[in-house]
């Protein structure tokens, strides 16, 4: 787990980390203001793309490949972001913020590689560490956006959090407030110098089983650990089908076939992920 520190942008390239931090501050001033993001990240993502006058579809459904957390791609001028709903809500939120960085680069830095190759976020980038520079940047962007410095300071004061002899319980409280995964919470405390590197390494050595046990016992951050495999959203597809039905713009037979096919896909996706 300590490789999470070694392969963080904050450690690897402090100058670039500061640049990403500045990007987040600029982004927040335009698209989020002073709000704590949490699961509103999905609305922020959609709003950001739409304000660049690009059609956008957010897809959320369970994926049988447990390694795949999210991906972004563009087809015929429309941008799609897929989030795997078979991972915890905290990881879905982080994955959406991570993908937002790639999209931000596409629009703001004119990085058009997204057109050709797309973006795929695998579980080890969230679970273990990011090794590629762009994923390090995206992780830093996501963590800073979800738990920005000012809000971290504010909430630490509100909840009277002490960072001397930090326990897992304090980290869980940060997770609960900002809806971020455990490792991201530890990194944010380290990056803002709330804890030193020795404490960060100690916290990162705690097993996932123990962290899960403490979440269950205390209830802290429990709401963000839920896995909603029954959450299946195909962007605006259902809405558009409804509009067509109301306007009677399509033959009944065709509409019924499409509905039946959609139900079949939903049934397949709803089966347990192995």
Q: Which helix (H) or strand (E) holds 70?
A: strand 68-75
Rounded to the nearest 5°, which phi and psi values hold at 61? -160, 160
pTM of the model: 0.87
64: tokens are 């049988």
| pLDDT tens-digit profile, the chain (274 residues) | 458 898 899 999 999 999 999 999 999 999 998 899 999 999 999 999 999 999 999 999 898 887 899 999 998 888 999 999 999 999 999 999 999 999 999 999 888 888 777 888 998 888 877 888 989 999 999 999 999 999 999 999 999 999 998 999 999 999 999 999 999 999 999 999 999 999 999 999 999 999 999 999 999 999 999 998 777 776 665 666 566 556 656 666 666 676 666 666 566 666 554 4
Q: CA 266 to CA 230: how far, in whole Å?
A: 9
Q: What's the pLDDT at 237?
A: 57
Q: CA 57 to CA 52: how far, in whole Å?
A: 14
Helix and strand numbers, DSSP H then E, in the chain: 15, 5
CB contact at 8 A, 55 and 111: no
- Please list the residues that pair with 79 across neighbouring strands: 56, 74
CB contact at 8 A, 161 and 120: no
Instruction: Give the 3-state secondary structure of residue 7.
Output: coil
Q: CA 16 to CA 33: how far, in whole Å?
A: 23
Q: CA 31 to CA 28: how far, in whole Å?
A: 5
Q: What's the pLDDT at 111?
A: 81
Q: What's the pLDDT at 235?
A: 62
96: tokens are 């959406």
DSSP classification of residue 87: S
* Residue located via tokens 């039905």: 245
Q: Which helix (H) or strand (E) holds 68?
A: strand 68-75
Closest CA to 103 of 236, 95, 231: 95
């Amino acid at each position: 787990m300590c490789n999470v520190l070694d392969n963080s942008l904050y450690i690897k390239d402090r100058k670039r980390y500061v640049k990403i931090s500045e990007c987040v501050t600029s982004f927040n001033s335009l698209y989020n203001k002073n709000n704590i993001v949490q699961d509103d990240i999905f609305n922020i993502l959609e709003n950001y793309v739409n304000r660049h006058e690009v059609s956008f579809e957010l897809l959320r459904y369970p994926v049988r490949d447990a390694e795949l957390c999210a991906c972004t791609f563009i087809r015929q001028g429309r941008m799609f972001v897929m989030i795997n709903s078979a991972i915890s809500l905290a990881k879905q939120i982080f994955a959406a913020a991570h993908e937002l960085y790639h999209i931000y680069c596409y629009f703001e830095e004119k990085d058009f590689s997204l057109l050709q190759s797309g973006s795929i976020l695998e579980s080890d980038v969230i679970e273990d560490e990011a090794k590629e520079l762009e994923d390090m940047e995206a992780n830093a962007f996501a963590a800073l956006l979800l738990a920005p410095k000012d809000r971290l300071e504010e909430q630490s004061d509100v909840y009277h959090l002490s960072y001397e002899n930090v326990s897992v319980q304090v980290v869980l409280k940060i997770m609960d407030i900002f809806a971020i995964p455990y490792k991201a919470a530890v990194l944010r405390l380290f990056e803002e110098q709330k804890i030193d590197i020795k404490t960060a390494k100690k916290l990162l050595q705690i097993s996932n089983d123990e962290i899960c046990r403490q979440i269950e016992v205390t209830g802290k951050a429990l709401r963000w650990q839920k896995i909603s495999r029954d959450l299946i959203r195909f962007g605006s597809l259902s809405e558009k089908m409804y509009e067509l039905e109301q306007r009677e713009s399509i033959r009944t037979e065709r509409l019924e076939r499409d509905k039946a096919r959609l139900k079949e896909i939903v049934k397949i996706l709803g089966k347990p992920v192995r």
